[in-house]
Amino acid sequence: MEPGSVDNLSVVYQSSDFLVVNKHWDLRIDSKTWRETLTLQKQLRHRFPELADPDTCYGFRFCHQLDFSTSGALCVALNKAAAGSAYRCFKERRVTKAYLALAVKTPSRASRSSCCWNTDRTRETPYPRCC
């Protein structure tokens, strides 16, 4: 996969309330420091300058976080009401998040195994389990 750039923002879904983008690996979501040459915030400002909200700290209302090295779908609320709705969904655990980790082994150590993580702590299996 090619390194992230200001131009390669992948949009997964867009409505009047939400924007879901595919966050690139090794990319910060936002930053107040000038040292960060590229962030998701800068990609969004470049692609959607009309959606930036000057009343927010970073210009966009990120509904959740992904780690710096993690790639995947990230939801951005485009107005206060949508942000409030998303916040309640996360707080009330009406949102399910799933993580898939891909690991590469050398051919001599290759084996078939997979792990499943249950991110909903209210279910019977609260910890990672191997399938």
Catalytic residues: 67
| DSSP secondary structure letter of residue 28 | B
Residue 37: Cβ-neighbour burial (10 angstroms; 0-12, 13-18, 19+): exposed
Cβ contact 81:44 at 8 Å: no
Sign (positive/negative) of CA torsion 43, 86, 91, 93?
negative
